[in-house]
Structure 1
């Protein structure tokens, strides 16, 4: 069985050691890289390439936001799960739009961290209740303005009826296979719709697409 290779980047040594210990107890996880700041992580990654990076935001030398930008540009296939104390809605949506695959608070339990890692590997995104509520609050708190009859035409984006349906189900947290079963399409066809939505919205991955959809009232 191929193990999921992980990197952990956090400047708090005690937290890093504790999480490393927890991750080491999962049989198919392999922590291959630890770093105390973004620059250290980036310097080490060409020699040890992880599948998923668990990334703190507030760090010296290079913070998490800059580190996420660099990883997305240089190694776009690497998934990023932010693990932080920052719970501002603005920060959540900003990082998801940048292509981060998941956003966890540091008070999350070990089971949720494991679930998030597996979800971003299997589906490309992990949207927990905290993130979903942040998206809904952002959409609800937007200044009321005149909206087009069909919100799917926002920002000059034109989606087909089927693409609208697929996007809505993705935002509901359904996987490709679950969407396939629900609307009676093959997984390959669902994936094709997802890729076209990514192209039309100009987003980098599923997490960014979902954040874009909520920010622009597409769902």
Structure 2
């Protein structure tokens, strides 16, 4: 039986909010559990709604998307946050990924990409489109204002390197498990160990570490 993905949406523009909800209605696996006009409204109802995915606008009254992301991560480290915004400035992408967002979409994204982002973030923990990938890589190249807290003298095992490379290829835990003949739980355990060893909080940090250290190109 396919698991139901519970999602919440926070956006102060009612027309856009309703449009997204309508666009997602043809996905039976999705269930809307919370609709909010701003970050504070979202946070006040988060524990009761218990969403798996949050679609979050950045510019909102009372509490914006950046403040909301920070507060969500204090409360729940498992819920996936996909930012949907008009702001196409790369500095927002970098900052949001660093503080715990799992994806970043522009509001002109096609409904199919929003659906793909939800499913990918739910299954894989993150969703990187070309816009996000380019922003992350450009930041690494220019090395401006990027201060990842990487641990020094890291020694990764051959298996950890193998999993890290596959994570950078956007493979899910289930897909990785089939490729290297391990259980999904074991793969998740290796991913957790990588986060601890490298000293990052999420998959974006793993990818940045791998690129910076030329583990992947």
Q: TM-score, normalised by structure 1?
A: 0.85
Which ranges in structure 2 are unaligned for 5 or more consecutive residues?
145-149
Residues 157-177 of structure 1, C-alpha deviation per residue, up to 9 Å, x if partnerless? 332233223212211212223
Residues 139-173 of structure 1, C-alpha deviation per residue, up to 9 Å, x if partnerless? 22237xxxxxxxxx974433223322321221121
1:176 aligns with 2:173: yes
**Structure 1 segment 174-213 matched on structure 2, within 5 A:** 174-213=171-210
**Structure 1 segment 137-148 matched on structure 2, within 5 A:** 137-142=138-143
Aligned-residue CA RMSD in angstroms? 2.3
Which ranges in structure 1 are unaligned for 5 or more consecutive residues?
144-152
Q: In structure 2, what is the equivalent of residue 63 of structure 1?
A: 64
Q: In structure 1, what is the equivalent of residue 147 of structure 2?
A: none
Q: In structure 2, what is the equivalent of residue 74 of structure 1?
A: 75
- Bigger shift: 115-124 or 20-29? 20-29
Q: In structure 1, what is the equivalent of residue 157 of structure 2?
A: 160
Q: In structure 1, what is the equivalent of residue 103 of structure 2?
A: 102
* Rounded Cα–Cα distance in structure 1 between residues aligned with 2:47 and 2:187: 34
C-alpha deviation, 1:108, in angstroms? 0.9
C-alpha deviation, 1:62, in angstroms? 0.6
* Rounded Cα–Cα distance in structure 2 between residues aligned with 1:62 and 1:216: 37
Residues 154-203 of structure 1, C-alpha deviation per residue, up to 9 Å, x if partnerless? 74433223322321221121222333344444434332221110111233
C-alpha deviation, 1:218, in angstroms? 5.6
* Rounded Cα–Cα distance in structure 2 between residues aligned with 1:215 and 1:87: 24
* Rounded Cα–Cα distance in structure 2 between residues aligned with 1:164 and 1:90: 29
- Bigger shift: 201-210 or 52-61? 201-210
C-alpha deviation, 1:93, in angstroms? 2.2
Q: Are the aligned partners of 1:102 and 1:207 in contact in 2 as well (CA < 8 Å)?
A: no
Q: In structure 2, what is the equivalent of residue 47 of structure 1?
A: 48
C-alpha deviation, 1:216, in angstroms? 6.6
Q: Are the aligned partners of 1:8 and 1:16 in contact in 2 as well (CA < 8 Å)?
A: yes
* Rounded Cα–Cα distance in structure 2 between residues aligned with 1:20 and 1:35: 12
Q: In structure 2, what is the equivalent of residue 118 of structure 1?
A: 119
Aligned residues: 210
Q: In structure 1, what is the equivalent of residue 13 of structure 2?
A: 12
C-alpha deviation, 1:207, in angstroms? 3.6
